[in-house]
A and B are shown apart, each in its own frame.
Chain A
Amino acid sequence: MNGDDEDINRNRAVDWGLKAYIIASFAFVFAPIAASFVFSFNADRFPSIPLGGFSLEWYKAVAADPLVWEGLRNTLMVGIVAGVISTALGFGAAYTDYRYKFFGKQVYLALALLPPTIPVIILGLAMLAYLSRINLSGNALSVIISHVVVCAPFAMAIIRLRLSQMDPALEPAAWNLGASEWKTMRHVIVPFTKPAILGALFITMAVSFDEFAVAWFVSGLNETLPVKVLGFLQGQVSPRINAIGTFVFVTSMTLVILAQVLLSGRTATARPAADEQE
């Protein structure tokens, strides 16, 4: 934003107003998270001002709890497996959309992108009803299946966007140079979409990591971390929740930021060099 002061077409009062507005919005959105973060390091039993001393005791308490470890293990396992499967499915759906024209394509796309628009309670209930009927409810597999349903559309949207930036001549150019369709997939389509594939992987993992409602319905005894947290809350209000919350937030944000870096990094380098005379 260099040279703002030089810009005669900007009203300074409006500028400051907009900046204040942005700061206020972010403060409102992040205040609860920040509070949770601060109180997770507070020595006092109850969240109150003034703060007590700095302490890691709630983190220690969390680390000592085997139930938390079990929840974390479930969460990581479900997140990774659901992320990989969702990304693979999303890639397939996005490539189908990119490559083929067929009757009912609009319906196909609408259906593929539908799951995130369904209220999670309904989705969770439906999953429970369906999975219990085929004897798959109440275990980690059922959470994975449910999370794939929720996550795959995100992966598809991300990869589809990347494919839409591809020169339509790139794929036929590879065929023309002797690459079969499989080789083109491996040597052209996948390398081109790689940033989006990795981005989709991190985003879907983050979504699965945070997802609570559907997991609550179908997880049974194999609770993921967010479900465990609710369990704690129902029993007692403990600052341990702040510690877990902070940990989950940091992990998710890391994944999302990684995805952001991957998805925006390529477009910056793809800008063509200025045409110099040879």
Chain B
Amino acid sequence: MQRDTLVSFEGVVKRFGAYVAVQKLDFQIHKGEFLAIMGSSGCGKTTTLRMLAGLEAPSEGVIRLSGKPINDLPTWSRDTPMVWQSLALFPFLNVRENVEFALKMRGVGKAERQRRAEQWLDRMQIGEFAERNIAQLSGGQRQRVALARSLVVEPEILLLDEPLSALDAALKVRMQSVLKNLQRETGITFVYVTHSQSEAFSMADRVVIMSRGVIEQIGTPQEIYRTPRTRFVADFLGSSNIFTGKVTSVGGAGIALQTDSGPMQLSASNAASAPVVGSTATVTVLDTKMRLSVTPPADGVNVVPVRVIGEEFVGATATLYLETAKGQEIRVQKGHEELTGLPLGIGQALFTSWSPEDGHLVAGG
């Protein structure tokens, strides 16, 4: 799916003194997509967003908006409104005045201002609060005011900096669907910064995962979930088991490794680039793709003997915690019906295995 590029980062570096917040960023944001930038705190995701908004100047490189470099454009001359983590609503203005603010600053006449503000107040279902003070609103209502205030100028792009972090869990889920629908209906490009995997994966068309100022992986949520490209991503998502070992053979039939947990095989197509025999490599296997049995499976491929050390129930699925003879922890996720008939007492010896199609080789060992 090739779409028009709205924003491109070309070799963008941001330093604060000796500290490098963002190193060599090269990526594109497509027109009309919902892009999430995800990572733990200090990974450079917010700095990236602030550079796009013009609140930080890149130390190196070029940022282009619709093809034009915007490095030297002051914040107030860009159409890159942002929804802040604190929301940053103006406490001395009422709801309507907050929403009209951007239009007023752009010199839009009073009647036109009112008309457009009205439209967005209604759209965000906060029309009845128009004359209220910000202090009188609930968290969810404030969220809607912040969105209306940014969207009233009908921008091409909307930046969101962890806007849902202050809400409780139920409201968070509700606002996620509000945001997703809003993005779909308006076709405005959303760039959403978050540390929350569930927010990023449930809303975004594409996810950028950053760590220590570097992009670890860009892809659709499914791509990233199924085939984490680096060890960091696999660790960060926490949904894969990770095995490290030496490559013993590479061929058309597959790649073979020798790991602490025994010999392993995976399909040749499951490596981004063919590894060198003798080099160290890391394999990831999704915890939902692991099989369990009491006796070793007949094919004898990718079989690891384990002991049960714990189990945890979350709704319809259970997570089993297992341990290999060498002490490595392995997680397996299964539906309850798949587990019936298996002895799962603590210390129970089992065999876990997976098909060579489900193992993926990550880059950089």
Contacts and interface: CB of A to CB of B under 8 A. Distances in A.
Interface of A: 167, 169-170, 172-181, 183, 187-188, 191-192, 194, 269-278
B19 interface: no
B76 A273 contact: no
B82 A173 contact: yes
Interface in B72-120: 74-77, 80-82, 84-86, 88, 90-93, 101-102, 104-106
B90 A274 contact: no
A167 B135 contact: no
Contacts of B54: 175-176
B133 interface: yes
Given A192-B92, A275-B168, A177 B138 contact: no
B140 A176 contact: no
Given A191-B92, A273-B136, A177 B102 contact: yes
Given A178-B153, A275-B139, A269 B133 contact: yes
Given A178-B102, A273-B136, A274-B138, A172 B76 contact: no
Interface of B: 53-55, 74-77, 80-82, 84-86, 88, 90-93, 101-102, 104-106, 133, 135-141, 149-150, 153, 168, 170-171, 174
A176 B153 contact: no
A160 B140 CA distance: 32
A84 to B, nearest CB: 22
A167 B91 CA distance: 10
Given A167-B86, A169-B84, A178 B135 contact: no
A97 B216 CA distance: 39
B84 A277 contact: no
A176 B137 contact: no
A167 to B, nearest CB: 5
A174 B101 contact: yes
A183 B82 contact: no
A180 B136 contact: no
A167 B138 contact: no
A178 B154 CA distance: 13
B75 A176 contact: yes
Contact of A176 (B53, B133, B168, B174): B53
B106 A178 contact: yes
Given A192-B91, A273-B135, A278-B140, A177 B149 contact: yes
Given A169-B86, A176-B81, A191-B92, A278 B138 contact: yes
Q: Which of B75, B81, B84, B153 has the most CB of A within 10 A?
A: B75
Contact of A270 (B80, B82, B86, B91): B91
